[in-house]
Amino acid sequence: MHFGPRLEAVAALVPPCRTLADVGTDHAYLPVLLLQEGKIEQAIAGDVVPGPCEAARHTVRQFHLEERITVRQGSGLTVVAPGEVETAVMAGMGAETMLQILGEAPEVWQHPAFRHLVLQPMSDSCRLRLWAEDHGWAVVREELVREGKRLYELLLLEPSPGWKYPGSCREVGDDLVRRHHPLLAEFVAEKKKKIQRLLTQMDRSERARASRQYKEYETLWKQLEEIDCGNGRNGK
């Protein structure tokens, strides 16, 4: 079965471990993929909504993985006991939801047995980089992947008290910049286009032009301009 480039990239970022929690699992495809790859021994597939839990149970039966994947209904990491998993994945949801999930069950990710967070946010990845810095976690690897028309960001975090974000711009993963990721120029160009559109809209109003938001967009635009995407390109 083909799971698609996005989920395959998420799986590639998961470090081998014994037990993984897939938070917001929907069809439980990620745990199936990770078990097929031999990267994990067992998984807890959690989802807050009954429909996705039913879909997950169906997938588990279809792949005869009842002994390896447990489906649990509930919010985020509240379905996991502290010390029960070493890694949690949150994919396909907004950063706001991820932060809410992390805030709901700190006893799970603060447990010494818990080693990795794999995040694939649909928005606001900068807030996750900030969360890492504020909570003693380091962003140790970042990825970009294209599926269809969209580019997706992926982050791997591990505990690292005192870690400071090394880049100047939290909107674009520093690891992507340092490695001159092959999709970086495209990613930066998309972001610049979006910011340019917003600035052009705001330019029509004197009040908008004088706002803090306008200044923030201008600063972000300059930061994006300065990113070296490799081969002399800077996201144009």
Sign of CA dihedral 204, 207, 208, 214: positive
Q: Which of residues 27 and 191 has its CB atom nearest to ligand SAM in the complex?
A: 27
92 contacts ligand SAM (rule: CB under 6 A): yes
160 contacts ligand SAM (rule: CB under 6 A): no
How many residues sit close enough to ligand SAM to count as binding (CB under 6 A)? 17
48 contacts ligand SAM (rule: CB under 6 A): yes
**HSE of 2, CA atoms in CB hemisphere, 13 A:** 3
Closest CA to 85 of 98, 93, 76: 76
Smallest distance from the beta carbon of 102 to ligand SAM, in angstroms? 10
In one-letter notation, the amino acid at residue 48 is V
Q: What is the Cα–Cα distance from 175 to 156, expressed in whole angstroms? A: 11
81 contacts ligand SAM (rule: CB under 6 A): no
Q: What is the Cα–Cα distance from 111 to 88, expressed in whole angstroms? A: 12
Q: What is the total residue count of the chain? A: 236
- Are the CB atoms for 75 and 101 separated by under 8 Å? yes
Closest CA to 44 of 104, 103, 98, 87: 87
235 contacts ligand SAM (rule: CB under 6 A): no
Q: Which of residues 23 and 128 has its CB atom nearest to ligand SAM in the complex?
A: 23
Smallest distance from the beta carbon of 122 to ligand SAM, in angstroms? 8
Which residue in the set 16, 18, 41, 49 belongs to the binding site for ligand SAM (CB under 6 A)? 49
Smallest distance from the beta carbon of 16 to ligand SAM, in angstroms? 20
Which residue in the set 24, 121, 173, 235 belongs to the binding site for ligand SAM (CB under 6 A)? 24
31 contacts ligand SAM (rule: CB under 6 A): no
Which residue in the set 31, 52, 173, 235 belongs to the binding site for ligand SAM (CB under 6 A)? 52
In the beta sheet, which residues pair with residue 147?
150
Q: Which of residues 24 and 235 has its CB atom nearest to ligand SAM in the complex?
A: 24
Which residue in the set 33, 43, 46, 131 belongs to the binding site for ligand SAM (CB under 6 A)? 46
Q: What is the Cα–Cα distance from 102 to 52, expressed in whole angstroms? A: 21
Which residue in the set 13, 34, 101, 155 belongs to the binding site for ligand SAM (CB under 6 A)? 101
Q: Which residue is nearest to ligand SAM (CB)?
A: 24
Distances (CA, A) of 156 to 2, 88, 168, 175, 195: 23, 10, 19, 11, 26
117 exposed, middle or buried (CB, 10 Å; 0-12, 13-18, 19+)? buried
Which residue in the set 20, 21, 26, 169 belongs to the binding site for ligand SAM (CB under 6 A)? 26
- Are the CB atoms for 6 and 122 separated by under 8 Å? no
Q: Give residues in contact with ligand SAM (CB under 6 A).
A: 7, 23-26, 46-49, 52, 75-76, 91-93, 97, 101
